[in-house]
Structures are given as structure tokens and as C-alpha cells.
A and B are shown apart, each in its own frame.
Chain A
Amino acid sequence: MKVRDPRRTPAAAWPAVIAALLLGGFAVVLGQHAAAELGWIGADSWLRTAFASLDDAQPSVWVLIAGIAAALIGLWFLIAAFLPARRSHLPADGPGDLWVSPRVVEALASDAAGRAPGVLHAHSELRRRRLKVKALLAPGNEAAVADIMEAVGDRLDGLAELEVAVQAKEASR
């Protein structure tokens, strides 16, 4: 049967935790109001104090700061609620249910490029479907670019359909 792809943590995960805590906080405020009004505690109701301040011509600085913070947090919650959870791994070919992370592709490509003849150092970076291999070549090894392409292609064969670009720089003598 079809099982869901491996995904990153959804953007809504942390807003949901904070929203749950905010709900809890609001429940405390309402509970304190009820307790104060029903005479269970001796303190004044926080809610009544807050509503009494609505008659002021302007909000206090702290209320304004809290309002701006609420608007920004609300915007963050709203955006996060609609962001899809991105796929965390790439599916490999074959009947096996194999998934590899972008870091695997980068590590294998860097190692393959680094072992190509004439390469002193190599580093890879995967962005979406584009693999960029940066290589430092030994002096007089301009032809190593083709070897790098071949080595990287062979090493990643079957793992993912990628567009490979090699950026080579010759080391100074």
C-alpha cells in the first residue's frame, strides 16, 4: 500500500504548540475572572481591569507593543498554517522503498569528485534538482572536469535524476 513520503517537520508544528499555550493562558485569565467575581479569591479581576482600560483615549505603550506582537505572531501562524511540509528525502530507483537525503547526494558526489584524477579538493551542494560540484584542480589538469562529471554520474547512478554542474578552479603553482 502507498505510504506517505518522508517529510520535514511542518511549519505549523511550533505555532501549534505556542497556540495551545496561548489557549491555556487565556483559560487562566478567564478562570481568574470567574474566581475573583465569585469571591473565591480576594484579588481584582484581571479581565475587568483590562476592559476598564478600553475607555482610555489611547492604549498604553505596553498594550501597543503587545498588539503589534500579536499581529506579527498572528501573521506567522497564518502563513505557517498554509505552508506544506516539504519532502525531506529523494526517492531512489528500484522496487525497494529507498529514500536518500540531499546530504547523502552531496557527500557521495564530493567523495567521487575528490577521487577523480587531478582533483585536490571537491565540495558539492544540492539545490532542488541541481547538483553543483566545486573542485580545486592540480595545475595542468583542465581535462579533469570530464572525469569529475563521469565519476559523479557513475557514483550517483540510480539514486536521483539530477542536473550536475561542475565549477573547477585550477590551483596556483
Chain B
Amino acid sequence: MRRPVADRPASAVIGLLLLAAGAAVIDWRFDLAGVWNRIETDEVNTTVEADWFAWAALAAAVVLAVLALWWLIARLPRPTEGRVALAATGSDRIDLDVRSVAPRLRTDLERNAPVDRVTSRRFEIRGGQLVSLHAHVDPRADGASLINAANAITESVATAFPDGEVTVRVIVDGPKRAKARRTPRVH
């Protein structure tokens, strides 16, 4: 899921508005600050009954609906462009489909590191793509073997793409829980 940059500022603004509305209702009920008594409800009712208010409400409804829809849709994952342009000379240009590289990197990691269930995701970064390899560790592994495998895979990618069109990151998570045994273990 993507994280729109609007999440934080918009959440803060809407949080403040909700807090203010809640505080107004609490003040209405318990008369803590006396703010409610100073509100002129006649003016509010006159405004709501005005002819222009219905059209203004309609326009606001359309704008808010579009904003809400955009905000929800903006977090849906977007497919990452598969191709990156390799260094070109003159009019020749070579595009590489990174989707063809990821399976090889997954196989290499699974073969060289004490991990299993390797998956990959691609992210666009400035000047190329990052292939993020996710794996689950074998609990019998040691730090040195994980580091050596990650170094080897980074080095091989850096050799193949010296200008950094493709980079690789290895993210290792805890071991997958073994499935429950059908028969009890006998000691």
C-alpha cells in the first residue's frame, strides 16, 4: 500500500476539526467555557435557508467527494514500470526489463544465504530501480553467512549495473512458523 504525503497534514487538520467539534458539544452540555451561549443560531439558520447555500453545499459536496475518492485511491499500489534505460551511446539505446532480473536474484539469495521463501518487490528510485528481496531466516543461520550472501549479491548487481540503474536490498525477517505436526514428536 502506498502512503500519500497528504496523510499527515490532512489527518492533523481533520483531527483538529473533530476535536473542536467534540469540545463544542461538550461545552454545549456542561457549559464549561460558555462559548455555546455566545453562538447566534439565528444567523446560522438564516445562512442555511438562503438560496445560494444549497448551491454552495452542492459544490462543496462535489469537491469533498472528489478529494475523499482521490485520497483513498492514492493509497492503492501502482504497478512499477519494468524497464530501465541503460547507458546509451549516440542514437542507440538499450532498455532492460528489471522483471527479468528479479527471479535470478531471488534464486541466488536462496542458494547462497541460509534463508527461504524469498520474494521480491521493485521500487522506482531516482536513476533506476531498487529490487527489494524479502526472505525468512533459517534459525540455524549465523550473521556472517547472511552478510556474505548480501555482499555477494550486491557486488554482482553493482558489477552488472555500474551506473546504478538497478540496485538490490536484502530484507530478512524471522523464521516462518513451522506447520503443526500431525503426529506428536516422540523423544
B68 near A23: Cβ-Cβ < 8 Å: yes
CB contact list, A79-135 vs B, under 8 A? 80-82, 89, 92-101, 103-104, 106-108, 110-112
Q: CB-CB < 8 A to B39: which residues of A?
A: 54
Secondary structure call for the B interface: helix
Q: CB-CB < 8 A to B126: which residues of A?
A: 1
Taking the nearest CB of chain A, how far is it from the CB of B83, in angstroms?
Answer: 19
**A-binding segment of B100-108, B134-142, B179-187:** B134-142
**Number of interface residues, chain A, beta carbon within 8 A:** 76
- Whether B178 sits at the interface, judged by CB under 8 Å, is no
**Which bracket fits the contact residues of B?**
35 or more
- Whether A171 sits at the interface, judged by CB under 8 Å, is no
B12 near A82: Cβ-Cβ < 8 Å: yes
Contact of A98 among B28, B141, B147, B174 (CB under 8 A): B147
- Whether B91 sits at the interface, judged by CB under 8 Å, is no
With A24-B69, A74-B18 in contact, is A94–B147 under 8 Å at CB? yes
Q: CB-CB < 8 A to A98: which residues of B?
A: 146-147, 150-151, 169-170, 172
State the B residues within 8 Å of A (CB). 1, 3-4, 6-12, 14-26, 28-29, 39, 41, 44-45, 48-49, 53-55, 57-58, 60-65, 67-69, 71-72, 75, 123, 125-127, 130, 137, 139-144, 146-147, 149-155, 164, 167-175
A-B contact sample (4 more), CB < 8 A, given A96-B147, A155-B143: A6-B171, A27-B63, A97-B150, A99-B171
State the A residues within 8 Å of B (CB). 1, 3, 6, 10, 12-13, 15-17, 19-24, 26-28, 30-31, 33-35, 37-38, 47-48, 51-52, 54-55, 58-59, 63-64, 66-78, 80-82, 89, 92-101, 103-104, 106-108, 110-112, 154-159
Give me 25 A-to-B residue pairs in the complex whose CB atoms sit less than 8 angstroms apart, sorted by A's number.
A1-B127, A13-B7, A15-B11, A16-B6, A21-B72, A27-B60, A31-B57, A54-B41, A55-B41, A59-B25, A68-B25, A71-B21, A72-B22, A74-B22, A78-B12, A92-B147, A94-B151, A96-B153, A97-B167, A100-B171, A101-B172, A107-B174, A111-B140, A157-B142, A157-B143
